[in-house]
Chains A and B, each alone.
Chain A
Amino acid sequence: MPPRDAGYAYAAYVAAALIYAGYALSIWWRWRRVARRSTRGPGAP
């Protein structure tokens, strides 16, 4: 009798989406931080 619970599959699909989206957001956030520092000029924190 195969396991009928689809909850594990849904959990896996949500978890994967969160990981990929979180990583993409981290790239965007870091790029934005570099861009902001650059607009303030050399030596800015």
Chain B
Amino acid sequence: MGATSNVGVAGHGAGGAGGGAGAPARDESAPPGRDRAPTSAPRPFGALFWTAVAAVGVTYVRALAFTPVEALQGPAQKIFYLHAPAAFTALYLAFALMAISSVLYLWLRDPKLDRVAACSAEVGLAFTTVVLITGPLWAKPVWGTWWSGDARLTATLFLWLIILGYLVMRQAVEDRELRARYSAVLAILAGLLVPFIHLTVYLFRTLHPQPIVLKPSAPSMPAEMAVTFALAFVAFALLFVALLRARYRLALAAEAREEADGSGGPN
């Protein structure tokens, strides 16, 4: 997850949010010994990121100290405020954006769309990692086992592996256009798993609970818990946007560097 992932694009000279991708313009005003920006692209983290960090901090405090303990599951139920927002963000924001951008890329061939898809996939992988770590930590005290191997858990693990493969493949293919095209196809196929994962609790016998928020009727939880959950969802969605923007800025800077070197290979 923390490895350098290739988010190169299928074309040269494409601009994007936060700066263009032309030859690097040195920031000669930067003091000696400090990093200078490689392009006109700004630094990856700004006010949005620190706002998201503050929101996540408030969520932690509210969830752990000011939200009632659930009667049946005890303190372990508080993992819900991490696990469910991470799952929502990964599946319905990150991987949905990845799949939609990939469809649009195959249609419009705009390199920005390939870049957005790749960045979204990488950030989504981080959120899915949180889902796959916090899920067993919740399951052990409540179900009596770390992992049940049912359809939802297994499909989520498969999706994590497919996204990991997607990012590894981007490192392996040097031709930018081929890389973008292969990546788009794989991303669309991975995106098809998202509605399947959502429906697994209806289609298969499972230990995983039925949805208590994303369902036709009203969420089945007390108001205090619902407020904490809503706060958590907003905080982690904000964190997703901030990390996506940072990753996009990194991709722009890396591409500018590639073009200055005259190479089109993986960054």
- Report A's interface with B, CB cutoff 8 A: 2-6, 8-9, 11-13, 15-17, 19-20, 22-28, 30-32, 34-39, 42-43
**Can you list, as one digit per residue, whether each of B224-267 has a CB less than 8 Å from chain A (1) or not (0)?**
00000000000000010001001101100110110011100001
Size of interface on B: residues with Cβ below 8 Å to A: 57
Q: Does B79 reach chain A (CB closer than 8 Å)?
A: yes
Partner of B4, one of A24, A28, A30: A30
Q: A24-B243, A27-B246 are in contact. Are A16 and B86 (CB under 8 A)?
A: yes
* Residue of B with least CB distance to A3: B141
B247 → A minimal CB distance (Å): 6
Q: Which residues of B contact A38 (CB under 8 A)?
A: 24, 26, 36-39, 253, 256-257, 260
**Cβ contact within 8 Å between B38 and A34:** yes
Chain B interface helix/strand/loop/mixed = helix
User: Would you list the 10 A-B pairs with minimal beta carbon distance, nearest first?
Assistant: A38-B38, A26-B2, A2-B74, A6-B75, A35-B35, A3-B141, A23-B126, A12-B137, A12-B134, A12-B79
A16 → B minimal CB distance (Å): 5
Q: Which residues of B contact A31 (CB under 8 A)?
A: 43-44, 246, 249-250, 253
Q: Which residues of B contact A35 (CB under 8 A)?
A: 35-38, 253
Q: Which residues of B contact A16 (CB under 8 A)?
A: 82, 86, 130, 133-134
Q: A8-B76, A9-B76, A35-B38 are in contact. Are A19 and B138 (CB under 8 A)?
A: no
B33 → A minimal CB distance (Å): 10
Q: Does B129 reach chain A (CB closer than 8 Å)?
A: yes
B22 → A minimal CB distance (Å): 13
* Residue of A with least CB distance to B86: A16
Partner of A8, one of B1, B4, B43, B138: B138
Partner of B1, one of A26, A30, A43: A26
* Residue of A with least CB distance to B135: A12
Q: Does B142 reach chain A (CB closer than 8 Å)?
A: yes
**Cβ contact within 8 Å between B60 and A13:** yes
* Residue of B with least CB distance to A2: B74
> How far apart sit A8 and B4, CA to CA, in the bound complex (Å)?
31
Q: Which residues of B contact A32 (CB under 8 A)?
A: 35
Q: Which residues of B contact A42 (CB under 8 A)?
A: 260-262
* Residue of A with least CB distance to B246: A27
**Cβ contact within 8 Å between A43 and B261:** yes
B36 → A minimal CB distance (Å): 5
Q: Which residues of A contact B138 (CB under 8 A)?
A: 8, 12
Q: Which residues of B contact A2 (CB under 8 A)?
A: 70-74
Partner of B78, one of A9, A17, A34, A37: A9
**Cβ contact within 8 Å between B44 and A27:** yes
**Cβ contact within 8 Å between B141 and A37:** no
Partner of A19, one of B44, B72, B74, B133: B133
> How far apart sit A27 and B137, CA to CA, in the bound complex (Å)?
27
